[in-house]
Structure 1
Amino acid sequence: MKRILITGAAGFLGSHLCDRFIEEGHQVIAMDNLITGDLKNIEHLFQLEQFEFYHHDVTKFVHVPGPLDYILHFASPASPIDYLKIPIQTLKVGALGTHNLLGLAKEKQARILIASTSEVYGDPLVHPQSEDYYGNVNTISPRGVYDEAKRFQESITMAYHRFHGLDTRIARIFNTYGPRMRLNDGRVIPAFMGQALRGENLTVFGDGKQTRSFCYVDDQIEGIYRLLFSDYNLPVNIGNPGEISILEFAEEVIKLTGTDQKIVFKPLPQDDPLQRRPDISKAREILDWKPTVDREEGMKMTYEYFKSLSREELEKREHRDFSKRNTY
């Protein structure tokens, strides 16, 4: 039994990671300040002896008593609605939070895996995106707070690896979907699903020709798990290379949900990437990993999850109150 700290544990990916490591027989310490996470995602684990929860903000000093074998740092706002509302907290968790956890990993002599993102590539000029592409990011755009937080996160992680010999891993995560996503959080799939289930028209930004590549959560978790236990220190793309335009995807959602909504168009947000598709050659070679859940199957499972939500959950919007949070 290994002892594992997972930050952002009440979030979408963090909660699924908690499940995976519990299933593998490990002891999990979950940490989250609940600024965007939800205890409902992990409440089924509270009864287990091998599970602990710390309500803590990783931008402040992080102390965990006892030994640690692994740290997985997934604490960060990840949806546009969140990081545009709390830009400074987003930067702080990428910088101060990552620094604190790297220091903890050094103290505990633990291996640490950092959750990076395809957003480090910005609006890419190279397609598909491989790990040796440096990206095209506008540092001062509204989206820059998330993009640059993640780019700095990668830089400081590699600095700790090279200077202190810390055992590090970096997962560059592409668009992922599945159960436990929040409705209406600004990401494509929950936005479309929420609109369809409420009988609203589906909103497409720009002309809808921009592309995305969607990876089902089970595949994503498997890739992260394999990366953690690999011997590779440099960034690895983990995502599904199946590419689709947003307009085509909206049409797929309408067909899946059996609704007759129209598609309405709104202006494209500043610096929204026009193309997004991972080159997963490195993951195939190093991790012997590739996605196994096709989009049709994954979307059916995701739709069933959203349908199971209460009417109150479907009708509410993402109006989270950040006014009492330490966001400065």
Structure 2
Amino acid sequence: MSKKRVLITGGAGFLGSHLCDRFLKEGYRVIAMDNLLTGSLNNIEHLFKEKDFEFYHNDVSKFVHVPGELDYILHFASPASPIEYLKMPIQTLKVGSLGTHNLLGLAKAKNARILIASTSEVYGDPLVHPQTEDYWGNVNPIGPRGVYDEAKRFQEAITMAYHTFHGLETRIVRIFNTYGPRMRLDDGRVLPAFIGQALRGENLTAFGDGSQTRSFCYVDDLVEGIYRLLLSDYAYPVNIGNPDEITIKEFGEEIIRLTDTKSKIIYKPLPEDDPKQRKPDITKAQEILGWNPTFSRSEGLKPTLEYFKKVVQG
């Protein structure tokens, strides 16, 4: 029997590269596609020697062409951190809209199942806590974060339209804060920012009073949830994240202890529309996929810290 073939867009990014690893390990033929705007070939250079791995340097917002059969498509191409999407607002909107449209068209032409990477940002600054999949969100469409939030909300809408109108096999994962090796140190998210500052002996910069919360999921747990969702029969959005919630202040103190530095936490004004609380309700993932996160934060932070130490030492 010939091996199943999967296309992973954003395949040179943080999450995309870990998905490439997983699908190769599971015996798939993997095509990684990336325009390298925010992805890096360093994340996948270890895969170029694999006979079942191919890399296409391509911008999915313009066109997508993949010769031969395709069984699955995972659409993970997009700037994903505030620094990136504030710097590239138009590209962010395009990859969520035009890019998704192109990939849904490819999935239809190839009769492939497609999973799209949505985000907890579709909930905006939530008025419901924890966030369940049937919560519609509290999003400012014209605020600075709107380019990302609304691109992902549109992505979900067009994906469901292809599912209901064309009968396309679609899956939607709503990803909550995820961390692990291959994250970019300068991507502006709190975890790499805190670790980078601590390793350089700088003070940690928290925004607001540090009382806002985040829930951090280790990348291996996330990849497991995505893999199970792709192979499930469920077409509606599913939250994947770790519900272990922590305040930004407590998290900063945890990083200072872990890195054994003399850094202090300093506070700056909270950016506009920054969510005050973030915690997934993962009941659906537990019931439909039999999925639960298995890595505690202390277990996941060890390999993450080792990775960042190498990056900082350069």
Of 132, 157, 160 in structure 2, the residue corresponding to residue 158 of structure 1 is: 160
**2:244 partner amino acid:** G
Alignment correspondent of 1:261: 263
Count of residue pairs brought into register by the alignment: 312
* Partner in structure 2 of residue 104 of structure 1: 106
**1:325: which partner in 2?**
none
The one of 303, 309, 314 aligned to 1:301: 303
Identity, in percent, stands at: 78
Corresponding position: 1:170 with 2:172: yes
Partner residue, 2:78 = 76
1:52 alignment partner, one of 39, 51, 54: 54
What is the DSSP-based 3-state SS (H/G/I as helix, E as strand, rest coil) of the residue aligned with 2:311? Answer: coil
Counterpart pick for 1:270 among 253, 269, 272:
272
**Aligned pair 1:39/2:26, yes or no?**
no
Partner of residue 144, structure 1: 146
Correspondence for 1:279 among 266, 275, 281 = 281
CA drift of 1:49 comes to 1.0
Divergent runs of 4+, >6 A: none
Letter aligned with residue 271 of structure 2: P
User: Is 2:57 the partner of 1:86?
Assistant: no
Say if 1:294 and 1:138 are closer, same or farther in 2 by CA, change over 3 A: same
2:15 maps to what in 1?
13
CA drift at 1:309 = 2.3
What is the aligned partner in structure 2 of residue 246 from structure 1?
A: 248
Structure 2: gaps spanning 5 or more residues = none
Distance 2:58 2:186 in 1: 25
Correspondence for 1:236 among 226, 232, 238: 238
Q: In the alignment, residue 173 of structure 1 is paired with which amino acid?
A: I
Given that 2:200 and 2:312 are in contact with CA atoms closer than 8 Å, whether structure 1 keeps it comes out as: no
Q: Is structure 2 residue 210 aligned with structure 1 residue 208? A: yes
Mapped to 1, the partners of 2:186 and 2:159 lie a distance apart of 32
For normalisation by structure 1, the TM-score amounts to 0.94
Q: Is the 2:196–2:312 Cα contact (8 Å) retained in structure 1?
A: no
Q: Give CA-to-partner distance per residue, 1:268-289, whole Å, 9 cap, x none.
A: 0000000000000000000000
Superposed CA RMSD in Å reads 0.6
Q: Secondary structure at the match of 1:309?
A: helix
How big is the shift at 1:299? 1.0
Letter of the 2:16 partner, please give it.
G
Aligned to 2:196: 194
| Contact preservation (8 Å) 2:140, 2:146 | yes
SS in 2 for 1:169: strand
- Render the CA deviation track for 1:233-262: whole Å, top value 9, x for unaligned: 000000000000001000000000000101
Tell me what 1:289 maps to.
291
Distance in structure 2 (CA, Å) of the matches to 1:163 and 1:175: 32
Aligned partners of 2:63, 2:272: CA distance in 1, in Å?
Answer: 35
Shift in Å, 1:311: 2.4
Q: 1:64 matched to which residue of 2?
A: 66
One-letter code aligned to 2:240: I
In 1: Cα distance, 2:291 partner to 2:88 partner: 35
Shift of 1:308: 2.2
Q: Which amino acid aligns with 2:247?
A: S
Amino acid at match of 1:231: D
Gaps of 5+ in 1: 313-328
TM-score by structure 2 length?
0.99
Q: Distance in 1 between matches of 2:68 and 2:216?
A: 38
Residue type at the aligned position of 1:215: C
Deviation at 1:310, TM superposition (A): 5.1
1:105-120 paired onto structure 2 within 5 Å: 105-120=107-122
* Structure 2: distance between partners of 1:48 and 1:137: 43
1:187-246 residue CA offsets vs partner (Å, 9 max, x unmatched): 011000100111110000000000000000000000000000000000000000000000
Helix, strand or coil for the counterpart of 1:212? strand
Q: Is the 2:124–2:275 contact (alpha carbons within 8 Å) kept by the matching residues of 1?
A: yes
